[in-house]
Amino acid sequence: MKIIRAKDYKDMSRKAANIVSAQIIMKPNCVLGLATGSTPIGTYAQLVEWYNKGDLDFSEVTTVNLDEYKGLSRDNEQSYYYFMKENLFSKVNINPERTFLPDGMETDSDKACSDYNRLIANLGEVDLQVLGIGHNGHIGFNEPGTSFEAETHCVDLTESTMKANQRFFESIDDVPRQAYTMGIKTIMQAKKILLLASGEDKAQIIKEAFFGPITPQVQASVLQLHNDVTIVADEAALSLI
Ligand code: PGA
């Protein structure tokens, strides 16, 4: 596990974007696993900036996102598809047909999940998986206690995750209660993992996840077992280690 210390959010974003860029340059037809949430927004913005300068070419890149809310359509502003379109896909020359997220509008959870598992298996391998980390240690929507063996599955969001996401919705009643997420097993199969963290509010969970016991109660702790993990975090997020 490699920890890259960044000064602040901007520096974290630039350092993370460097790693993603290196992946695209090294392997133009790579498969990127992508994440939503506030943490990677600056990384995507930096990638867009370098793309606009002519330094990056996304034309052969394929992306698979970690998760999507069940019940939100792609044009719903709170859907993760919409987020990805706004922050990255519409701003670079990626082929929209090569950008994948679980199908939030598929009401049959088993079908949505098995379709996504099949899609990822058919893509071969995720070359680089970008991750954020929730305050409870979740990665994707894999909430505490989920089996490390899980592949893509439908989750009932915990109260704390719904509360954390409430800021994006008018009221807590509008926050979807379920989501489709890649499981830990799927995430662990990525060749390389890049986890981003920023802010003092992430310091405690960074300490627990990477310097504490490996336990399903802290989903991100499983990453201690992966052989190519890079954490890019700012000083505030690293302040307890
Ligand atoms: P955040 O979310 O980037 O908005 O803090 C991270 C997560 O919950 O995975």
Q: Establish whether residue 37 lines the binding site of ligand 1, counting it when its CB lies within 6 angstroms of any ligand atom.
A: yes
Distances (CA, A) of 182 to 44, 76, 115, 203: 21, 21, 12, 25
The token pair that represents 92 in the structure block: 């670079």
Q: Establish whether residue 132 lines the binding site of ligand 1, counting it when its CB lies within 6 angstroms of any ligand atom.
A: yes
Q: Measured in angstroms, how far is the CA atom of residue 143 from the centroid of ligand 1? A: 12
Band (12; pLDDT cuts 50, 70, 90)? very high
Q: What is the pLDDT of residue 173?
A: 84
Closest CA to 88 of 123, 119, 130: 130
The token pair that represents 89 in the structure block: 């896909």
Residue 176 contacts residue 71 (beta carbons within 8 Å):
yes
Closest CA to 221 of 115, 140, 137: 137
Q: Establish whether residue 196 lines the binding site of ligand 1, counting it when its CB lies within 6 angstroms of any ligand atom.
A: no
Band (167; pLDDT cuts 50, 70, 90)? confident
Could you state, in order of their start, the residue ranges of all structural domains in the chain? Answer: 7-127+135-180
Q: What is the pLDDT of residue 160?
A: 79
Which fold, 7-127+135-180? Rossmann fold (3.40.50)
Q: What is the pLDDT of residue 127?
A: 98
Q: What is the pLDDT of residue 39?
A: 98
Residue 89 contacts residue 99 (beta carbons within 8 Å):
yes
Mutate to test the pocket of ligand 1, among 44, 133, 138 (most ligand atoms within 8 A of CB): 133
Q: Is the pLDDT of residue 172 over 90?
A: no
Residue 66 contacts residue 181 (beta carbons within 8 Å):
yes
pLDDT tens-digit map of 92-131: 999 999 999 999 999 999 999 999 999 999 999 999 999 9
The partner residues of 154 in beta bridges, in order of sequence, read 180
> What is the overall mean pLDDT for the chain?
96
Radius of gyration of the chain (CA): 17
Q: What is the pLDDT of residue 159?
A: 84
pLDDT tens-digit map of 16-26: 999 999 999 99
Residue 154 contacts residue 182 (beta carbons within 8 Å):
no
Q: Measured in angstroms, how far is the CA atom of residue 234 from the centroid of ligand 1? A: 15
Question: What is the mean pLDDT of the segment spanning 70-75?
Answer: 94
Q: Is the pLDDT of residue 161 over 80?
A: no
Q: What is the pLDDT of residue 29?
A: 98
The token pair that represents 55 in the structure block: 């330094």
Q: What is the pLDDT of residue 234?
A: 98
The token pair that represents 85 in the structure block: 């379109």
pLDDT tens-digit map of 201-235: 999 999 999 999 999 999 999 999 999 999 999 99
**Residues assigned a catalytic role:** 67, 136, 138, 143
Q: What is the pLDDT of residue 104?
A: 97
Question: Which is it for the CA torsion 77, 83, 87, 89, positive or negative?
Answer: negative
Q: Measured in angstroms, how far is the CA atom of residue 37 from the centroid of ligand 1? A: 5
Question: What is the mean pLDDT of the segment spanning 133-148?
Answer: 94
Question: What is the mean pLDDT of the segment spanning 175-179?
Answer: 93
Q: Is the pLDDT of residue 171 over 90?
A: no
220: left (phi over 0), alpha (psi -120 to 50) or beta: alpha
